[in-house]
Structure 1
């Protein structure tokens, strides 16, 4: 089995805080991502959202579409309403060959609010769980029937953030709901990527690789800062520039025959963290970790 290396445009331009990298053209992101060695990109807010426009742009740069974030609101709308809302996104992914959809429930989320500390992350009530899971299963079944599997993205500042919440999601959701293993969000929420990988090896269908600067994370927690303040202060970085043990994690992925994308998704302030420099660093470190774990990278 082999994996492919991709990147998210957050390295250059930020979706949660559009002022970060706001003047960077999409062509710059794509050209520099290709220069760094990546085979594909996830979507960002500067990407055209119809395949007829985006396909030729990616083809010009010799890149594939990896996946793209979808903001779910299943706590406030029905499964049928959600399916109608996601159809254009699903069509884009399917048309351009992406097999997974990055999916996150954003009802009551706070990660886009700079003045709201992470300690105010929303929590799902029992009634919320009983509403959410059947609706999620219905949406996931529909997407899988269309050839694209949901990769659920637990995320700081949302209703599914902590290891306990991930455990409940995996216990109650149907097998059609895959799990996106995001190393940085898991560590920042008090979890261990190696433990989660071993526990849910058969559910993981997408991997986001972001590293954590421990001192900045501690400061964010100690001073009760927001997610966006954490980003601006440098809480996240590319794999290999923090303290997460990627070699052991990748050994587990090899043993479980993971064959999807490894995506560098490490939001930083591009005025501080030079995008091409960090893209190259992230790519080279991922290749090194794969080699150490004897995980084959698809050329």
Structure 2
């Protein structure tokens, strides 16, 4: 049975600041909602959000959850910045090791990602004019493998998340990364739609490398409007591009039938990235989690 996890980003808890005056859910609220709606895992969220050491393990145990993964972005394209950030990697990996002590049978996956650049962040969807050159790809891939090998040296297996507004966003960029490294792929249906890809095609194309699944529905029209208007990624999140299963353009039946047929055995993390707004119904996030988990009961 594929284990299903939720994520703090679905509560608006991630690297972007909240809207002024909005109070975000705390770790126990996040974990309680996931427990109440049938999830068995949780993504880490910002480092330390779920606690550290004994506090982290106690919180996970109390809510019947395991740590599924966690975001680690590094500036692979900027050597000086990468070297500085790399020095912080062990401190982040410590959280994964601490959590792994509570669930040694299914270790959490450190989810490597690219920090992007100001230009990429301002141009969701990418394009040839914003892509790395062949000359730039070699040091980029070398830095990815440096991070990958360091994660493995800590006894964990990494995964790499293609993501909007980074140098690994479009299908061609995902192909390039996979051809130059041996890291597993976090397959994100929503970000692939934003990057101009099709989830069914992508799954079939990269299945042998996918070791982590982020499942989200998205309204392509919202994504297209942001790209057309040269909005940034915050505009995508704030514009409610990511929606409950069945309300967007993801072919959930199609992708889940493929996932099951291929005997995928990694974590499936349900995400509905959002930036909560003043005046939002405080119970809506919990209802969306219930909706999303119920939609998956057809397969899981």
How far is the alpha carbon of 1:133 from its aligned partner?
A: 1.1
The 1:118–1:83 alpha-carbon spacing in structure 2 relative to 1, beyond 3 Å, is: closer
TM-score, structure 1 as length reference: 0.86
Partner SS state of residue 111, structure 2 = strand
Aligned partner of 1:108 in structure 2 is 117
Aligned partner of 2:98 in structure 1 is 95
2:281 counterpart of 1:282 = no
* In structure 2, C-alpha distance between the alignment counterparts of 1:99 and 1:14, rounded to whole Å: 19
**Which runs of no fewer than 5 residues in structure 2 stay unpaired?**
101-106
Contact 1:209–1:239 (8 Å) recurs in 2: no
* In structure 2, C-alpha distance between the alignment counterparts of 1:188 and 1:95, rounded to whole Å: 34
* In structure 2, C-alpha distance between the alignment counterparts of 1:198 and 1:65, rounded to whole Å: 27
* In structure 1, C-alpha distance between the alignment counterparts of 2:205 and 2:116, rounded to whole Å: 27
* In structure 1, C-alpha distance between the alignment counterparts of 2:125 and 2:43, rounded to whole Å: 29
How far is the alpha carbon of 1:106 from its aligned partner?
A: 0.5
* In structure 1, C-alpha distance between the alignment counterparts of 2:112 and 2:208, rounded to whole Å: 18
How far is the alpha carbon of 1:278 from its aligned partner?
A: 0.9
Contact 1:119–1:224 (8 Å) recurs in 2: no
Aligned partner of 1:246 in structure 2 is 252
2:148 counterpart of 1:140 = yes
The 1:149–1:239 alpha-carbon spacing in structure 2 relative to 1, beyond 3 Å, is: farther
Partner SS state of residue 3, structure 2 = strand
* In structure 2, C-alpha distance between the alignment counterparts of 1:44 and 1:52, rounded to whole Å: 18
* In structure 1, C-alpha distance between the alignment counterparts of 2:136 and 2:202, rounded to whole Å: 24
Aligned partner of 1:233 in structure 2 is 239
Tell which deviates more after alignment, 255-264 or 181-190: 255-264
Give the alignment of 1:115-264 within 5 angstroms: 116-118=122-124, 122-174=130-182, 177-264=183-270
How far is the alpha carbon of 1:142 from its aligned partner?
A: 3.1
The 1:119–1:261 alpha-carbon spacing in structure 2 relative to 1, beyond 3 Å, is: closer
Contact 1:74–1:135 (8 Å) recurs in 2: yes
- Which segments of structure 1 move beyond 3 Å, counting only runs of 4 or more? 20-23, 77-84, 119-122, 269-273
Contact 1:99–1:147 (8 Å) recurs in 2: no
Partner SS state of residue 138, structure 2 = helix
**Which runs of no fewer than 5 residues in structure 1 stay unpaired?**
291-296
The 1:249–1:91 alpha-carbon spacing in structure 2 relative to 1, beyond 3 Å, is: same
How far is the alpha carbon of 1:141 from its aligned partner?
A: 2.6
Partner SS state of residue 69, structure 1 = strand
Partner SS state of residue 124, structure 1 = coil
Give the alignment of 1:33-52 within 5 angstroms: 33-45=34-46, 47-48=49-50, 50-52=52-54
Aligned partner of 1:62 in structure 2 is 64
How far is the alpha carbon of 1:81 from its aligned partner?
A: 6.1
How far is the alpha carbon of 1:205 from its aligned partner?
A: 0.5
The 1:119–1:212 alpha-carbon spacing in structure 2 relative to 1, beyond 3 Å, is: closer
TM-score, structure 2 as length reference: 0.85
How far is the alpha carbon of 1:161 from its aligned partner?
A: 0.5
Partner SS state of residue 55, structure 1 = helix
How far is the alpha carbon of 1:80 from its aligned partner?
A: 7.2
* In structure 2, C-alpha distance between the alignment counterparts of 1:84 and 1:60, rounded to whole Å: 33
